[in-house]
Structure 1
Amino acid sequence: MRYLMTTAANGSAPDEKLFAEMGKFIEELTASGVLLATGGLDPDSILVSSSGEEITVTDGPFAEAKEAVAGFALVEVRSREEAVELARPFRRIVGDGESRLQQVFTS
């Protein structure tokens, strides 16, 4: 099972301690084979919407900074519960805020 974990910006700038702890966490997940991809996201997004034959392109940002998705991790785990357990140490490292887990369905 693959899960995409996204996290919203918490409004504070990361410090060296956070970078060190997160680097160690990412190394552990990579070595275990669980982490497939990770990265930060630019808050300026592009919205592409359709209605019938009309395609509209709108430049962002669209959410308040505290609501914008700041980063993601794609993990491969055996269960929903395992995905939640991976999110717990991540949230402890980054502090207050929210992360969202969504199962990724592949063909």
Structure 2
Amino acid sequence: MQFFVEYTPAAGKPQSPEHNEKLNKLIEEESKSGILFATGAFKPGTTVIRQDDGNVSVTDGPYAEAKEVIVGWAIINAKSKDDAIEISKNFLSIAGDGTSVMHEIFGPEDHAAQSEHAAQNEHAAQSVSPHNGERA
């Protein structure tokens, strides 16, 4: 299973060089172990591309109303949601105060399983007689 994890640090807490060293060590360890698939940070500014009723608009930020800014992200490999939560807790224990938001990634294997399940349901529906609800 893969999860996309966003990280937003608590406001007003600058990070020391020692803190950054610990974080870099964790990233290196989790990369080598296969837990960390990819990671990065966002540069300042945002571009929003929106379509509404066929009209596309592009707006560049930063946006003053944004109180919390997502600073970093990671894609992690985990055995389960609980495992992903533990990985995120470990990250926060080093990163410090802040918030991580996890999203399970719907991958190719999930799409294949969903397609197979839909095909089985369609086959089951076709094998039921429309007249009396009994199987043909």
Question: Given the two structures, how large is their TM-score scaled by the length of structure 2?
Answer: 0.72
Distance (whole Å) between structure 2 residues aligned to residue 2 and residue 43 of structure 1: 26
Give the SS at the match of 2:30: helix
Residue 23 (structure 1) shift:
1.3
Percentage of matched positions with identical amino acids: 30
Cα distance in 2 for partners of 1:43, 1:83 equals 28
Shifted more, 9-18 versus 44-53: the winner is: 9-18
Instruction: State how far apart, in whole Å, the 2-side matches of 1:99 and 1:43 are.
Output: 19
**Alignment root-mean-square deviation, CA:** 1.2
Relative to its length, the structure with more helix (as a share) is: 2
The one-letter code matched in structure 1 to 2:43 is D
> What SS class does the counterpart of residue 91 from structure 1 fall into?
helix
Q: CA deviation at 1:31?
A: 1.2
Structure 1 outlier segments of 4+, above 4 Å? none
**Gap runs ≥5 in structure 2:** 109-136
User: Does residue 57 of structure 2 align to residue 56 of structure 1?
Assistant: yes
More strand by share: 1
Would you say the 8 A contact 1:9–1:70 is kept in 2?
yes
What residue ranges of structure 1 are gaps of 5+ in the alignment?
A: none
DSSP 3-state at the match of 2:101: strand
What is the letter of the counterpart of residue 52 of structure 1? D
What is the TM-score of this pair, normalised by structure 1? 0.90
> Which protein has the larger Cα radius of gyration, Structure 1 or Structure 2?
2
